Amino acid sequence: MLRHSVETCPDDVSALEQRLDALTGAGARIISVVWQARRTEDESQSAAYDARGSFVIVSETHEAGILRERQPVGEGIEEIDAGRA
Show me where the domains of the chain are located.
Answer: 3-84
CA dihedral 28, 74, 39, 35 (to 10 degrees): -40
Instruction: Select from 1.10.150, 3.30.390, 3.30.70, 3.30.300 the CATH code of 3-84.
Output: 3.30.70
Residue 85 has pLDDT above 50, yes or no: no
Counting every residue written for the chain, the total comes to: 85
Percent of the chain residues topping a pLDDT of 90: 49
CB distance 7 to 79 below 8 Å? yes
Partners of 60 in the β-ladder: 4, 29
Nearest C-alpha neighbor of 7 from the set 68, 84, 83: 68
pLDDT at position 10 over 60: yes
- Which positions ≥6 away from 26 have C-beta within 8 Å? 61
pLDDT above 50: residue 30? yes
> Higher pLDDT residue, 33 or 71?
33
**What pLDDT, on a 0 to 100 scale, did the predictor assign at position 84?**
45
